[in-house]
Structure 1
Amino acid sequence: MKYDRENTLLMLQQRDWNSLIDLFKDNRIYLEIEQDSIIQSILEREFISELIGGSGFDDDPEYLFYLEQFHILHVSPHYKFSLKAIHVDPLVEKIIGIYRADSLEKAVFYAKKYANLPVSIEILAEIENSQPKVIQHSLSSTIKVTENREIEPVDSTTSVFKSQHERRFYMAVRAIFHTYLVLPNVAISAVVDFESVKHHLDQKERAYFFTALIDCVVVDAQNEFRPIKMLEIDSLYHDDEEQLRKDRMKDKIIAKAGHKLLRIRATGSHSEEDLQKLILEVTR
């Protein structure tokens, strides 16, 4: 392809961005354009400024493509084309601004390359604040420790026990099995192998498997932390028809897993000592 000044002028006038990008990628032709003061003046005074300004590109889906192509022309060692220094930062800021709305990952890519730009500083700070904070410690070279950020100045946590009744029950179980690990509110999926029992369960039971909790699980830390006892503390709440249905599903799941599920229901007021004696008796 030979350099054609009239054709190049026509491309500039018609804002034929794709054709001009292809033209600028031809190093031999671009060297001739650089020597053409008229074309070069139009290119710098109007063309690049219009591209960076974004005027008239609202309905052009390829606008970002044009911007990135000019950036590639500028930074690639394979091309002779280069932007004036005053145009580089505004061009990149425009690219980052567009990507920031649609593809933060790509915006960060440019922000890291042009870290001194105000928009880059802002984006990188946002990213850093959205990531867990890295905690420095004596083993930082081999172990990474992080903590979450933006901690609210109010404690919104709650007890793992829904009632004092549950708490007393747990304390009683722990007192009896003090040489074992006693865990409250354990997910069935944490202590039962689903693949081993699923063929015994219907669709509703399978779904319930992944939401159900066991009130108290006694775990043997010396035997691969396997459960040895599973206990439930029941109340009037368990007389509800829906809860009875769930209780039956839970009983079945634990049975198919090869374990007993002891249900204890107190109809009167009992001390923790009373519960201890009962638990010791029924778990022997």
Structure 2
Amino acid sequence: MPPPADVEALYRYLQAQAWEPALEVLYQNRMSLAIDPLLQQATQVLLNALRAYVNSVPKEVLEKLFLLHTGQLFRLPEDFFADVVVALVERHADRPEVAQAYARWLPEHPLCAPYMTPMHTEPVWEAWDGFAVKRYVPTRCLTPPSLFRSRQEAVFFQAVREVFLTYLVYPNVALSCLLDYEQLADALTEAERSYVFRAQVDCVVFDPDQDYRPCFCFELDSPLHAAPERQARDQTKARILGLAGLVLYRIRPPATPPDRQAYVRLLRRLLAQATPDKP
């Protein structure tokens, strides 16, 4: 279970019209929205207040609302999202390529439609603090997929991050990025050499004190891994990682999906066993 949300802080920010920290509270507690009625009520009050100020709040607040919605971290009501899009288009009227990127989310709105004429010109280089930057705007309004293929993968990833606080943790890392292929190729079969460039590892821990090299690999098994062909691929992956000198933990959760803290307890026990000299 996620920790209780600080609803009082949200109301304090709301009363002070401190929109950005209020939205940060909402973002930090997004996992609690479905189960916390007090947070749900405070969120509704916040959204109602922001609607009244949508044309006057700072551009950064509008952009944060836009990202919360399009990133599927928190869904705004459709009419409110439309107001946010239109406001962003108006704020960027002096930069048509940026306004067009927002307008694509509401192409039939009278204020957005003029920006929907295809732009065939190559964007120009812009100067930003000594850097040259060229921005290519999206040509289709599609929501990118999540890095995670299941809710359990996301929960497990957050647990790994909590346990390995001083390390870098990444989900779904290409197997080929974890080994020196030229050094390993002669030890692999032809099928294994092909598999190296097609497979991913669910979660990998990298050590920033060791030139950001991988040190722990984790695979989270679903019931689908009971199939013989999946087991064969799992064994291939384990063999390749072993030849590459990497530790792999394959974890099969119980039938009832565990919460984050259950994974944390397991990972701490595994880490203590693997590195007894470390806290």
1:94-113 equivalences under 5 Å are: none
Letter of the 1:283 partner, please give it. Answer: L
Alignment-derived partner of residue 168 in structure 2: 181
Structure 1: runs of 5 or more not aligned: 1-125
1:47-86 equivalences under 5 Å are: none
Q: Deviations over 1:18-67 (max 9, x none)?
A: xxxxxxxxxxxxxxxxxxxxxxxxxxxxxxxxxxxxxxxxxxxxxxxxxx
**Of 116, 120, 139, which aligns to 2:130?**
139
**How much does 1:135 deviate?**
3.4
**Of 218, 229, 243, which aligns to 1:256?**
243
Alignment-derived partner of residue 158 in structure 2: 171
Distance in 2 between the 1:195 and 1:222 partners? Answer: 25
Distance in 2 between the 1:150 and 1:273 partners? Answer: 39
SS in 2 for 1:279: helix
Distance in 1 between the 2:242 and 2:267 partners? Answer: 20
Tell me if structure 2 keeps the 8 A contact 1:219–1:225.
Answer: yes
Note if 1:160 corresponds to 2:151. Answer: no
**How much does 1:222 deviate?**
2.1
Note if 1:267 corresponds to 2:241. Answer: no
Note if 1:192 corresponds to 2:179. Answer: yes
SS in 2 for 1:156: coil
**Of 212, 219, 224, which aligns to 1:232?**
219
Letter of the 2:127 partner, please give it. Answer: Q
Letter of the 1:275 partner, please give it. Answer: Y
**How much does 1:163 deviate?**
0.5
**How much does 1:246 deviate?**
1.2
Letter of the 1:135 partner, please give it. Answer: E
Note if 1:279 corresponds to 2:270. Answer: no
Alignment-derived partner of residue 216 in structure 1: 203
| 1:160–1:133 distance in 2 versus 1, CA, 3 Å | farther
Q: Which structure carries more helix by proportion?
A: 1
Letter of the 2:170 partner, please give it. Answer: L
Tell me if structure 1 keeps the 8 A contact 2:215–2:247.
Answer: no
**How much does 1:223 deviate?**
1.6
SS in 2 for 1:222: helix
**How much does 1:189 deviate?**
1.1
Identity of aligned residues (%): 32
**How much does 1:233 deviate?**
0.5
TM-score (norm 1): 0.51
Distance in 2 between the 1:150 and 1:175 partners? Answer: 35
Structure 2: runs of 5 or more not aligned: 1-117, 273-279
Distance in 2 between the 1:182 and 1:167 partners? Answer: 12
Aligned length: 154
| 1:133–1:256 distance in 2 versus 1, CA, 3 Å | farther
**How much does 1:172 deviate?**
0.7
Letter of the 2:128 partner, please give it. Answer: H
Distance in 1 between the 2:126 and 2:168 partners? Answer: 30
Tell me if structure 1 keeps the 8 A contact 2:207–2:213.
Answer: yes
Tell me if structure 1 keeps the 8 A contact 2:174–2:199.
Answer: yes
**How much does 1:133 deviate?**
4.8
Q: Could you say which structure has the larger radius of gyration?
A: 1
SS in 2 for 1:277: helix
SS in 2 for 1:217: strand
- Deviating beyond 4 angstroms after TM superposition, the runs of 4 or more aligned structure 1 residues are 130-133
Tell me if structure 2 keeps the 8 A contact 1:205–1:249.
Answer: yes
| 1:230–1:131 distance in 2 versus 1, CA, 3 Å | farther
SS in 2 for 1:227: strand
